[in-house]
Amino acid sequence: MPSGSVSGERIHVQVRPPTIDDVADAAGVSTATVSRVLNGGRVAEATRSRVATAMAQLGYRRNPHARGLVTGSSGTIGVLVPDVAGPLYAQMARGIEDVLDPLGMQFFLATDARNPERSHAALGSLLERRVDALILIGNQIPSDALRALIGDRAPLILVERETNDDVAAPTIELDNHGGAEAATRHLIERGYRRIAHVAGPRRAGAARIAGYHAAHAAAGLTAGPTIPAGFTEESGLAAAETLLGYDDVDAVFCINDRVALGLMHGLIGGGRRPGHDVAIVGFDDLPFARYLNPPLTTVRQDARALGRCAAEYAIAALEDRSPPHTTVVPTELVIRASSPMARG
Amino acid sequence: MPSGSVSGERIHVQVRPPTIDDVADAAGVSTATVSRVLNGGRVAEATRSRVATAMAQLGYRRNPHARGLVTGSSGTIGVLVPDVAGPLYAQMARGIEDVLDPLGMQFFLATDARNPERSHAALGSLLERRVDALILIGNQIPSDALRALIGDRAPLILVERETNDDVAAPTIELDNHGGAEAATRHLIERGYRRIAHVAGPRRAGAARIAGYHAAHAAAGLTAGPTIPAGFTEESGLAAAETLLGYDDVDAVFCINDRVALGLMHGLIGGGRRPGHDVAIVGFDDLPFARYLNPPLTTVRQDARALGRCAAEYAIAALEDRSPPHTTVVPTELVIRASSPMARG
DNA sequence: TTGTAAGCGTTATCAA
DNA sequence: TTGATAACGCTTACAA
């Protein structure tokens, strides 16, 4: 015998969420009819509204598990990024959300921290979730391993892939070469003659190095020193040490804004004035760039657009419209005070 | 009659992923046994290894939809953030991932851009996904609306809630008051006597204003002007305009680093030298802070730890271990060159 | 220790 | 236009 409820007592019952059966009962129709209302099938208007009322009253939400079980799809996309904390990756995620959200789709975000082992594990758990498609950003898994892992489970979209072997999948890339070339050409046009490059690793880094050289070649100039670095302020700071050794360098093109920031810091510490003694150009146009002292000339990339593009391709692939094989997203040079006309 | 396969032809068949039945057949056991292996039930070692082999050979992955359907849970947590692109939110997401990943759980990230309408919609789609728990970051939905929407569907964890009405849910907050007080006290101790505050909106902003006043009160000083601003460089720049009007102000405590950056930029533009004519303190310790010129004194917050904490509470709630009602995460003052000893 | 079988909440195929 | 009903792939009593 259940104990009587004491006045003021509040019994917490975990209520079972309403099912399609509950709705069908409430509306006096079959579950098939409710399902048709849900999925936009042919239903008499009167019936439809009765069902709609019942759903609203019960606060019905369809169960995605049951739905996924029968349809074989999850309405979900898996996104693998190197690092959630990178502002550019966050922007890409935002772009992906821009297109998924209106479609009622969501995405799982996983990170691999550029670690191959972690990469495999993350991809595994994404596939485990039965994502309908996969967007891989800055990925480094070799193409054969990728294929072995993914097979035909889900269409694949690659963004800024970091290896050179070809994968039979739509790829979206930033115009790293063009951006670097434009940045370097800008410095040349402003009268700088000894332009160093603080370079980044991997594929994107290599493309920017190539662009840097191309601009020199086009102007009939000899490229300056290339100093290898990473992607953070810290490695920019380290590059400054090296650069302070060259007193003929009058401009530096940096692999990105964060490196440029570290570099500027180091140069100032070494008694050189960015924007006066030495011109600086970055890459990315992070929010802080225009507020630096001096404001940083840089190559803007629209990471959000990249994300949007990737998501659109993913949707296209799901709908059997095959997306283009390779897309290159343009960059834009933003000129600020860190690269004035050379005093020469 | 199916046409014979032509030599060299490659027929692309969308292969049905292996099911638990396939594994059972391959291993010569029942599906129940396979399920036990999967879920760590009692199985003879010999059987277990046979099943494991079969799973490996087939490349079996359990279907989360079927699983979710019967268990009633999804192994998934919903996270609602104001804005994916904010570096701090990204760090929180990372902290959440830190604890979810080892548990084989994943999270859905939704954003509301501080927009109430969007907030409801995002929460709806998260609930639609049948997330097992919900982490709301910087949320502004009034408590009654929140309860109406969520009910008992999922345990709720609140991080840095931005309204004042109380919700019966575990809440994690940054020590905004303490951090602001420490920053202001630091300026006072360094000999500054006319300290302005570039303030932020909402609850966190109010707590920091209170901390700023508390430090003044404790020192028997009168607080300087408080200039309302937002959270970006742009509003810091605008605040600089105002501040240039006060020539007695010798130090500024800013709501965050981005605002401090904009402010410094504006002050320099107005002929005042941060770290010389005027001391500056920020909040957050974003990566760029220590590389500014001068390096920015700021209040570090460990957003990743906040995220970890939230995820742990969510897990605890799922396991019926009730998490503490309110947790305040401490901050740490990081002293750099933007706040030297006052010359006075 | 293992197997049998009954759901879980949908969608989709038939008939009516 | 509607309604039965059989999957979908898994977990979990209950039996053996």
Rounded to a whole number of angstroms, the distance between the first and last alpha carbons of chain A is 97
Which nucleotide has the shortest C1'-to-CA distance from A69? D8
Q: Do B152 and A69 touch (CB under 8 A)?
A: no
DSSP secondary structure, B255-278, as one string: SSHHHHHHHHHHHHHTT--BTTTB
Q: Please give the structure tokens belonging to residue B159.
A: 């991080």
- Residues A285 and A283: their CA atoms lie apart, in Å, by 6
CA distance B8 to chain A (A): 19
Cα–Cα distances in angstroms (integers) from residue B18 to residues A149, B21, B26, B31, B293, in the given order: 15, 8, 11, 13, 59
CA distance A218 to chain B (A): 35
Q: Closest by alpha carbon to B212, among B189, B191, B201, B196?
A: B196
Strand C, CB < 7 A, residues 9-28 of B: 28
B172 sits in the region (left: phi over 0; alpha: psi -120 to 50; else beta) called beta
Strand partners, B108: A108, B78
Residue whose CA is minimally distant from D11 C1': B70
Which nucleotide has the shortest C1'-to-CA distance from A36? C11
The answer to whether residue B153 scores a pLDDT higher than 90 is no
**Angle at the Cα of B239 from the Cα atoms of B235 and B240, rounded to 5 degrees:** 120
Q: What is the pLDDT of residue B121?
A: 87
What are A244-249's contacts with CB under 8 Å, separation 24+?
A244/A270, A244/A272, A246/A194, A246/A196, A248/A194, A249/A194, A249/A195, A249/A196, A249/A224, A249/A225, A249/A278
Q: What is the pLDDT of residue A20?
A: 95
Under the banding of pLDDT at 50, 70 and 90, the label for residue B14 is: low
Residue whose CA is minimally distant from D5 C1': A32
pLDDT > 90 in chain A, percent: 70
Asked if A300 contacts A285 with a C-beta cutoff of 8 angstroms, the reply is yes
User: Within 7 Å: CB of A31 and strand C?
Assistant: yes
Q: Closest by alpha carbon to A292, among B285, B237, B280?
A: B237
Interchain CB contacts (distance < 8 Å): A and B: 138
Paired sense of beta strands A156-159 and B279-284, if any: unpaired
Q: What is the pLDDT of residue B148?
A: 85
- Residues A250 and A252: their CA atoms lie apart, in Å, by 7
**Protein CB footprint (7 Å) on chain C nucleotides:** 1-5, 7-13
- For residue A264, give the chain B residue with the closest CA: B291
List Cβ neighbours of A5 (8 Å cut-off, separation of 6 or more).
A11
What are B162-168's contacts with CB under 8 Å, separation 24+?
B162/B138, B162/B202, B162/B203, B162/B204, B163/B139, B163/B203, B164/B203, B167/B143
Collapsed DSSP state (helix, strand, coil) of residue A253: strand
Q: Closest by alpha carbon to A286, among A241, A231, A329?
A: A231
The strands making up A76-81's β-sheet, listed across from edge to edge, are A326-329, A171-174, A156-159, A133-137, A76-81, A106-111, B106-111, B76-81, B133-137, B156-159, B171-174, B326-329
Residue whose CA is minimally distant from D3 C1': A30
Locate tokens 């500014």: which residue?
A: B292
For the segment B106-126, the average pLDDT, to the nearest whole number, is: 87
Residue B53 CA, nucleotide C1 C1', distance (Å): 19
Paired sense of beta strands A195-199 and B133-137, if any: unpaired
Locate tokens 């401490």: which residue?
A: B330
Q: For residue A104, how many other CB atoms are within 10 A of its CB?
A: 9
Lowest mean pLDDT segment, chosen from A220-224, A247-251, B13-17, B244-248? B13-17
CA quadruple B204, B207, B211, B217: dihedral positive or negative? Answer: positive
Q: What is the pLDDT of residue B15?
A: 67
Which residue among A13, A130, A258 sits closest to B64, beta carbon to beta carbon? Answer: A130
Task: Identify protein residues whose C-beta is within 7 angstroms of any atom in strand D.
Answer: A 28-33, 36, 41-44, 46-47, 66, 69-70, 72; B 16-17, 19-21, 31-32, 34-36, 38-39, 60, 62-63, 66-67, 69-71
Chain A contact set for B293 (CB, 8 A): 264-265, 268, 293
- Residues A206 and A160: their CA atoms lie apart, in Å, by 13
pLDDT > 70 in chain A, percent: 95
Q: What is the pLDDT of residue B83?
A: 82
Asked if B311 contacts B135 with a C-beta cutoff of 8 angstroms, the reply is yes
Q: Closest by alpha carbon to A29, among A7, A46, A14?
A: A46
List Cβ neighbours of A4 (8 Å cut-off, separation of 6 or more).
none
A114 sits in the region (left: phi over 0; alpha: psi -120 to 50; else beta) called left
- Residues B40 and B27: their CA atoms lie apart, in Å, by 17
- Residues A102 and A84: their CA atoms lie apart, in Å, by 23
**Protein CB footprint (7 Å) on chain D nucleotides:** 1-5, 7-13
Q: What is the pLDDT of residue A14?
A: 54
Max CA pair span of chain B: 97
Chain B contact set for A124 (CB, 8 A): 61
User: Within 7 Å: CB of B73 and strand C?
Assistant: no
Which residue among B94, B153, B265 sits closest to A293, beta carbon to beta carbon? Answer: B265
List Cβ neighbours of A116 (8 Å cut-off, separation of 6 or more).
A140, A141
User: Within 7 Å: CB of A293 and strand C?
Assistant: no
Q: Do A85 and B84 touch (CB under 8 A)?
A: no
Locate tokens 């109010």: which residue?
A: B206
Max CA pair span of chain A: 97
Q: Please give the structure tokens belonging to residue A269.
A: 């510490």
Chain A contact set for B14 (CB, 8 A): 152
Residues in chain A: 344
- Residues B282 and B235: their CA atoms lie apart, in Å, by 14
Chain A contact set for B92 (CB, 8 A): none
Collapsed DSSP state (helix, strand, coil) of residue A232: coil
The answer to whether residue B273 scores a pLDDT higher than 90 is yes
Q: For residue B179, how many other CB atoms are within 10 A of its CB?
A: 25
Which residue among A63, A90, A130 sits closest to B84, beta carbon to beta carbon? Answer: A90
Chain A contact set for B94 (CB, 8 A): 84-85, 111
Q: What is the pLDDT of residue A165?
A: 80
Which residue among B127, B151, B261 sits closest to A291, beta carbon to beta carbon? Answer: B261
Asked if B97 contacts B68 with a C-beta cutoff of 8 angstroms, the reply is no
Chain B contact set for A125 (CB, 8 A): 101, 104, 106
- Residues A236 and A257: their CA atoms lie apart, in Å, by 9
Q: Do A84 and B63 touch (CB under 8 A)?
A: no
Which residue among B59, B74, B111 sits closest to A97, beta carbon to beta carbon? Answer: B111
CA quadruple B318, B319, B324, B328: dihedral positive or negative? Answer: negative
Instruction: Give, for all 344 residues of chain A, the pLDDT tens digit.
Output: 233 332 222 333 456 789 999 999 999 999 999 999 999 888 999 999 999 999 999 989 999 999 999 998 899 999 999 887 778 888 899 999 999 988 889 999 888 877 888 888 899 889 889 999 999 999 888 888 888 888 888 899 999 988 878 788 899 999 999 999 999 999 999 999 999 999 999 889 999 999 999 999 999 999 999 999 999 999 999 999 999 999 899 999 999 999 999 999 999 999 999 999 999 999 999 999 999 999 999 999 999 999 999 999 999 998 878 888 899 999 999 999 999 998 76
Extended strands (E) in A212-290: 226-228, 251-254, 279-284
Which residue among B15, B109, B127 sits closest to A61, beta carbon to beta carbon? Answer: B127
**Angle at the Cα of B137 from the Cα atoms of B135 and B142, rounded to 5 degrees:** 95
Residue whose CA is minimally distant from C9 C1': A66
Which amino acid is residue A154, in one-letter code?
A: A
- Residues B135 and B129: their CA atoms lie apart, in Å, by 14
Asked if A33 contacts A43 with a C-beta cutoff of 8 angstroms, the reply is yes
Q: What is the pLDDT of residue A344?
A: 60
Q: What is the pLDDT of residue A11?
A: 36
User: Within 7 Å: CB of A343 and strand C?
Assistant: no
Chain A contact set for B154 (CB, 8 A): none
Under the banding of pLDDT at 50, 70 and 90, the label for residue B344 is: low
Locate tokens 């992923």: which residue?
A: B17
